[in-house]
Amino acid sequence: MAARLGQVLYWAACGLALLTFGFVAYLILIVGVPHEDWPVIGIISAMGVVVWLIGRAFLYVLAGR
């Protein structure tokens, strides 16, 4: 049961990370981000990576992978 929970939490975290990176791509490609806002884009991208890593940790701890 814990293995399934680990997989579900991992996929949920992957989905959130994908949404975050999609938002960053939207900001860069569609909106056009000025140079003074690049640190904000970096922080949002780092948040996406952290969410993905938390999902990996759930998968490792609960599912043993």
- Does residue 2 surpass a pLDDT of 90? no
- pLDDT tens-digit readout, 38-56: 999 999 999 999 999 999 9
Q: What is the pLDDT of residue 43?
A: 95
Q: What is the dihedral of CA 57, 58, 59, 61, to 10 degrees?
A: 80
Write down the pTM of the prediction: 0.85
Nearest to 55 by CA among 19, 17, 24, 21: 17
- pLDDT tens-digit readout, 13-27: 999 999 999 999 999
Q: What is the pLDDT of residue 37?
A: 85
pLDDT band at 63 (very low <50, low <70, confident <90, very high): confident
* Structural domain spans, the chain: 2-63
Instruction: Tokens for 56, please give them.
Output: 């990996």
